[in-house]
Amino acid sequence: MLKGKVAIVTGSTSGIGLGIARELARLRADIVLNGFGDANEIEAIRSGIEREHGVRVSYDGADMSKEDAVRGLVTATVAKFGRLDIVVNNAGIQFTAPVEEFPAARWNAILAINLSAAFHSIAAAVPQMKKQRWGRIVNIASAHGLVGSTHKAAYVAAKHGLIGLTKVVGLETAGSGVTCNAVCPGWVRTPLVDKQINDIAAERGISQQDAARDMLAEKQPSLEFVSPAQLGGTVAFLCSGAADQITGTAISVDGGWTAR
Ligand code: NAD
C-alpha cells in the first residue's frame, strides 16, 4: 500500500514510534528511524526491519529538542531518498510535578520536544509534500491533548498545543493532497509509562502489577493498555486512501478515557 513512499518517524527507537515504524514498513514504506538509545540495539532494529520487510531503513539520531537538528532531519531525508511522503511526529518525554514545583528546564524541554519539534518538522516538510501533491503528517498527541490531569502542566500544555497546530496545518494544506491529523493514545505500556507505574508502585507500596491496574482503573474504562501495533494501524489508516478527506482532526485511541 505504501510502496515507494518515504516515512520519517521521530522517536522510533522505542515504544509507540517503533510500533508505527514497523507497521509502515510492513506496508512497504521506506523508513527513517530517529531517537536515542544504544547504537548496537538501534542497528539491530534498523537492519531487522529492513530484512523483514525488504524496504530501505535508515537511522538519523537528530535531537528533537534542537530546531536545526529537526529541520536537518527533513532536509537530509529528502536529499537521501529524493522525496518525503509521511512525517510522524512521535518523539516525546514526560515529567510530573505540581505546577509550583515544576522545574522551568523540564517545562522548556517538554515544550521543545513534544510541541516545537513538530512545528519545525512540519514547516520543513510541507513544501516538499505540496510539490509532490501528496503528504501525510501525523502528530502523536495524547488523551492529555484533550483533557488534563494533575502534575502534568508541561505535557498537557504541549499536547493541547500539538492538537492546535494540527488544526492550523490541516486548514493550510486542505486541498493540496497533504493532510495533517493527530492521534490521541490513552495508556500504552512503554518505557515512558513504565516509569510512571514504578512511581505509583513506590508511592503506594504496591506491586507493579497492582500499580498498572490502578493506573488503568483511574483513566481507561477498557482496563486494557493500547498497543504500539494498534497505533501503527491507526497511522496506516490515516495514510490510506480512505483517509484522504480526514484532516485537521484528532483521533482518540484510548479505551474510552476521553468519552467521560
Ligand atoms: P518512549 O519513551 O518509549 O519513546 C520515546 C521515543 O522518543 C524514544 O525513541 C526516545 O529515544 C525518543 N526521544 C526522546 N527524546 C528525544 C529527543 N530529544 N530527540 C529524538 N528522540 C527523542 O515513549 P512512548 O510512550 O513510546 O511515547 C511516544 C509518544 O507517544 C510521545 O509523544 C508520548 O507523549 C506519546 N504518548 C504516549 C502514551 C503512553 O501511554 N505511552 C500515551 C499517549 C501519548
CATH number of the domain to which 46 belongs = 3.40.50.720
The contacts of residue 129 (CB under 8 Å, 6+ apart) are 84, 85, 135, 137, 173, 176, 177, 178
Tell me, using a 6 A CB cutoff, whether residue 64 lines ligand 1: yes
The pLDDT tens digits of the residues spanning 104-118 come to 999 999 999 999 999
User: Residue 160 domain-assigned?
Assistant: yes
For residues 35 and 134, state if they share a domain.
yes
User: Residue 178 domain-assigned?
Assistant: yes
Given CA atoms 155, 164, 144, 153 in this order, what sign does their dihedral have?
Answer: positive
User: Residue 10 domain-assigned?
Assistant: yes
Report, as an integer, the average pLDDT of 191-219: 95
Position 39 confidence tier, pLDDT thresholds 50, 70, 90:
very high
The pLDDT tens digits of the residues spanning 136-167 come to 999 999 999 999 999 999 999 999 999 999 99
| Residues involved in catalysis | 155
For residues 88 and 199, state if they share a domain.
no
Residue 53 · residue 25 · CB < 8 Å: yes
Position 96 confidence tier, pLDDT thresholds 50, 70, 90:
very high
For residues 35 and 164, state if they share a domain.
yes
- Looking at residue 42, its pLDDT comes to 98
The pLDDT tens digits of the residues spanning 240-252 come to 999 999 999 999 9
For residues 98 and 197, state if they share a domain.
no
In order, the DSSP letters of 12-53 are: -SSHHHHHHHHHHHHTT-EEEEE--S-HHHHHHHHHHHHHHH
For residues 180 and 207, state if they share a domain.
no
User: Residue 1 domain-assigned?
Assistant: no
For residues 26 and 105, state if they share a domain.
yes
Host domain of residue 134: 6-186+228-259
For residues 140 and 94, state if they share a domain.
yes
Supply the pTM of this predicted model: 0.98
Mutate which of 192, 195, 198, 230 to test ligand 1's pocket (most atoms within 8 Å of Cβ)?
Answer: 192
For residues 145 and 179, state if they share a domain.
yes
User: Residue 104 domain-assigned?
Assistant: yes
Which among 28, 34, 20, 37 is positioned nearest to 56, based on CA atoms? 28
- Looking at residue 101, its pLDDT comes to 98
Report, as an integer, the average pLDDT of 84-101: 98
Mutate which of 13, 16, 140 to test ligand 1's pocket (most atoms within 8 Å of Cβ)?
Answer: 16
- Looking at residue 130, its pLDDT comes to 98
- Looking at residue 219, its pLDDT comes to 97
For residues 181 and 194, state if they share a domain.
no
- Looking at residue 218, its pLDDT comes to 96
User: Residue 177 domain-assigned?
Assistant: yes
- 76/15 Cα distance (integer angstroms): 24
pLDDT averaged over the chain? 98
The three-state secondary structure class of 56 is coil
Q: Which atom of ligand 1 is nearest to the CA of 113?
A: 18
- What's the DSSP call for residue 224? S
For residues 198 and 146, state if they share a domain.
no
User: Residue 125 domain-assigned?
Assistant: yes
For residues 101 and 196, state if they share a domain.
no
For residues 101 and 207, state if they share a domain.
no
Look at the chain and report how many structural domains it folds into: 2
Q: Could you tell me the distance, in angstroms and rounded to a whole number, from the CA of residue 80 to the centre of ligand 1?
A: 25
Tell me, using a 6 A CB cutoff, whether residue 2 lines ligand 1: no
